[in-house]
Structure 1
Amino acid sequence: MATTQQPSTKQDILHHLLKQGQATAQELAEHLKLSPQAIRRHLKDLEAEGLILHEVVHVSMGRPNHVYKLSRQGRDRFPDRYEEFALSLLDTLTETVGREQVGVLLQKQWERKAAEYRDRVGSGSLQERVANLVELRRAEGYMAEWHSVAATEAQSVSTQSDQAERYVVTEYNCAISHIAESFPSVCGHELEMFAAALPGCTVERTHWIVNGEHRCGYLIQTKAAVGN
C-alpha cells in the first residue's frame, strides 16, 4: 500500500505547485489532507530529486516559512509534445533560411492552427466555444482551465470598465516553453491564433510564463465590449 501511495502523493504535490505556483508545507498538508510531517518527507524527496526548490520567506513573527515551487526539471515532467525536436528543427531552419523567413513560416503555421481551432470550437455561445478551446489545449498537453469573470475582476486585468461577458483561460504549463524562449514571437502568434479561433472576440494576455510567472493567462471578451 505504501509503495503506491508515495508516488501518488508526490505527483499530487507537483500538480498543486504547478497550478498554484508555490505553497508552504502547511498549505500542501491542508490541501492534500495529510500531516505536515508526511508532506515534509515528500518535499525532502522531491527536492533531492531536483523537481522542486524552496526559498525562505521571513514573516513578522515566528519562524520563517519555507515556500516550495517547481524547478525547471519539475516543469519538464509535464508533457512537452516533442519540443526538443521542434526546437532543433527551428534552429536548423534559422541557420539555413534565416530568422526572418522562419518567422514567416511560424506565422503560416499559427494561421493554419487557428483555422483548425475555429472549426473545432464550433459556433455556439462564447462560453461553449471557450470551454471547447480549453479541451483542445488539454488534448495537446496543456494543463488548462477557464472561468467566467465578473466585471470588477475583469477590470483588474483590463482597462475596460463596461459590462460584458468575459472569460479567463489559464494554462499552468507551456507545451512549447523552450521554443518560446528561443523564438518569443510564437507567443504573439498564439494570441492572434486564439483571437482568430474565436471570431468577434479580443484576446489579451494577463500572465506569461516567459516573464517568469507560473502560468499563462488570457482575458477573452467580445469586441462589442471593447468598442463601448
Structure 2
Amino acid sequence: MTTIQQPSTKQDILHHLLKQGKCTVQELAERLQVSPQAVRRHLKDLETDGLIVHEVLQAGMGRPNYSYVLSQEGRDRFPDRYDDFAVSLLDTLAETVGADQMGSILRKQWERKAMEYRDHIGNGALKERVSKLVELRRAEGYMAEWHPIDANGAVIGSVQSESNPAARFILTEYNCAIAHIAESFPSVCGHELEMFAAALDCRVERTHWLVNGEHRCGYLIQPK
C-alpha cells in the first residue's frame, strides 16, 4: 500500500488534493512541475490503493476529462492528534471537577451512547441485535466481528444458532477507536461493558482486553 510517510510525488499529490479538494491531471502537473504522463501513473497507483477516486468531467463531444479527490481512506492516512486532545481535555476535566464527578460524567456519556445504540439496534432476536451492534461499531472505527458459540465456547454455525434462541455470542474488537483514552482512563472500559449490556438488554462479560496487552478486546454476550 502507498503511504505518506516518505517524501514522494505521490505524497505531494495527496497533500495537494487535501488542500484543494479536487484537481485534474493538468492542474497537478503544473502545480508539482512534473509531466502529465508521470502524474497519471501516480494517480493510477493511488487509485488502485484506494486513496483517491476520480470524477468524470465531460466537456463537449471529445474525450472526457477527470478530476481526482481523496477517498476517506486517503484522508485517514493523514495523521491527526484528536486522541491527544481528548486525553488532555479529560485530564483537565478530572483536575477541575474531581474524581467522583469525573466518574459521573463518563457514566453519563456511556448511558447516552447506550440509548443511541438501543435506538438503532431495536428489539429483535439477540443474534440480530448483536449483528447490528457490530455494524455500528465498525462504522465508528472498531474492527469488530461476532460469532455464536456453544456451551463449551466453541464457535457454531449460523444455522445451528438460529435453532437455539439461548445461544451465546462472542464479540471481538481488534482495533479500539479510543485506545489512548482507555490507557489514561481505564474506567471507560468498565462503562463500555455496562453500555453493551444496556444496549443489547443482556449479560456481557469481558474475555480479552487490549489495555492488558492482548491483541483484542473480547466480550461474552448471553441472554439474562
> Would the TM-score normalized by the shorter structure come out above 0.5?
yes
The equivalent residue for 1:22 is none
Q: Whose RCO is larger (CA < 8 A, sep 6+)?
A: 1
Q: Structure 2: how far apart are the matches of 1:150 and 1:103?
A: 36
The equivalent residue for 1:49 is none
- For structure 2, the residue ranges without an aligned partner over 5 or more in a row are 4-76, 155-164
Using the TM superposition, give the Cα deviation of residue 99 of structure 1 relative to its aligned residue in structure 2, in angstroms. 2.1
Which residue identity lines up with residue 170 of structure 1 in the other structure?
Answer: T
Using the TM superposition, give the Cα deviation of residue 124 of structure 1 relative to its aligned residue in structure 2, in angstroms. 1.0
Residue 87 (structure 1) aligned with residue 60 (structure 2): no
Which residue identity lines up with residue 176 of structure 1 in the other structure?
Answer: I
Runs of 4+ more than 4 Å apart: 77-81
- For structure 1, the residue ranges without an aligned partner over 5 or more in a row are 1-5, 9-76, 155-162, 224-228
Report matched runs for 1:197-216 at 5 Å: 197-199=199-201, 201-216=202-217
Using the TM superposition, give the Cα deviation of residue 86 of structure 1 relative to its aligned residue in structure 2, in angstroms. 1.3
Partners of 1:83 and 1:175 within 8 A in 2? no
Residue 219 (structure 1) aligned with residue 192 (structure 2): no
Superposed CA deviations along residues 27-70 of structure 1, whole A, max 9, x for unmatched, are xxxxxxxxxxxxxxxxxxxxxxxxxxxxxxxxxxxxxxxxxxxx
Cα 1:80–1:128 change in 2 (3 A) is: farther
Which residue identity lines up with residue 148 of structure 1 in the other structure?
Answer: P
Superposed CA deviations along residues 146-184 of structure 1, whole A, max 9, x for unmatched, are 011122226xxxxxxxx9310110000111111111111
CA RMSD of aligned residues (A): 2.6
Secondary structure in 1 aligned to 2:136? helix
Question: Identity of aligned pairs, percent?
Answer: 74
The equivalent residue for 1:191 is 193
The equivalent residue for 2:59 is none
Which residue identity lines up with residue 108 of structure 1 in the other structure?
Answer: K
Which residue identity lines up with residue 102 of structure 1 in the other structure?
Answer: M
Superposed CA deviations along residues 57-102 of structure 1, whole A, max 9, x for unmatched, are xxxxxxxxxxxxxxxxxxxx89999322211110110121112211
Which residue identity lines up with residue 209 of structure 1 in the other structure?
Answer: L
Using the TM superposition, give the Cα deviation of residue 123 of structure 1 relative to its aligned residue in structure 2, in angstroms. 1.1
Larger Rg: 2
Q: 2:181 aligns with which of 175, 179, 182?
A: 179
Q: Structure 1: how far apart are the matches of 2:204 and 2:122?
A: 18
Cα 1:138–1:79 change in 2 (3 A) is: farther
Cα 1:214–1:78 change in 2 (3 A) is: farther
The equivalent residue for 2:127 is 127
Superposed CA deviations along residues 179-211 of structure 1, whole A, max 9, x for unmatched, are 111111101000000000011x10000000011
Which residue identity lines up with residue 183 of structure 1 in the other structure?
Answer: F
Cα 1:139–1:181 change in 2 (3 A) is: same
The equivalent residue for 2:137 is 137
Secondary structure in 1 aligned to 2:152? helix
Cα 1:122–1:136 change in 2 (3 A) is: same
Q: How many residues align?
A: 143
Q: Structure 2: how far apart are the matches of 1:122 and 1:81?
A: 35
